[in-house]
Structure 1
Amino acid sequence: MLSDYVDRAIAKAIYDKLEDGTFTGRIPVCKGVIAFASTLRECEDELRSTLEDWILLALKLGHSLPVIDSIDLNKEPTLESMDTV
């Protein structure tokens, strides 16, 4: 579920080429997730890494995350008994 969330968030990313030839990327629905790099590919990689760190920190601190394409990471996990495994 976490991988799907990251993939779908990255699919919503917006990239721009800056005047100096470098790139910036952001995910508007994920406030504060932004990356800068010298190539578009590096920017995509950096943005994914920044997003992953942002998600982990939000979960650790108990912050609410945006629901992306019906994936809600804010739900409490449900535990199943060992008999069902």
Structure 2
Amino acid sequence: MLLDYLNAALKKAKYEVIKNEKEKYYAEISVCKGVWATGKSLKECRKNLLSTLEGWLIIRLQRKLPIPKIENYDLKPLKVRY
């Protein structure tokens, strides 16, 4: 399910070509606030975006912050009792 969420989020990504810059591509996932990346190629940009998304998701789960529902994927932290 986690991989499905990541893939669904990547489908929401918007890409831009940046002229006259070292990093030629920029991407963001607007539904996931703060998730963006750059890269010298589209492939590198997408790889960097996935890495950023993974880190963003881990932090949100650790801190019990809301995670936006994407398509039918609604991730919520589990309540664990010790």
In structure 1, what is the equivalent of residue 9 of structure 2? 9
Once residues 20 and 36 of structure 1 are traced to their aligned partners in structure 2, the CA distance between those partners, rounded to angstroms, is 14
Structure 1 unmatched ranges of 5 or more: 78-85
TM-score, length of structure 2 as denominator length: 0.88
SS at match of 2:15: strand
Larger Rg: 1
Aligned residue among 23, 34, 37 for 1:35:
37
In structure 2, what is the equivalent of residue 18 of structure 1? 18
Once residues 38 and 52 of structure 1 are traced to their aligned partners in structure 2, the CA distance between those partners, rounded to angstroms, is 20
Matched ranges for 1:34-73 at <5 A: 34-73=36-75
Deviations 1:38-66 (CA, angstroms, capped at 9, x unpaired): 11110000000100110001000110000
Measure how far apart 1:76 and its partner are. 3.5
Judge conservation of contact 2:29–2:36 (CA < 8 Å) in 1: yes
Structure 2 unmatched ranges of 5 or more: none
Measure how far apart 1:75 and its partner are. 5.8
Q: What is the one-letter code of the residue matched to 2:7?
A: D
TM-score, length of structure 1 as denominator length: 0.85
Count of aligned pairs: 77
Once residues 35 and 3 of structure 1 are traced to their aligned partners in structure 2, the CA distance between those partners, rounded to angstroms, is 19
Moved over 6 A (4+): none
> What's the % identity of the aligned pairs?
38
Deviations 1:16-44 (CA, angstroms, capped at 9, x unpaired): 00012510000011110000111111000
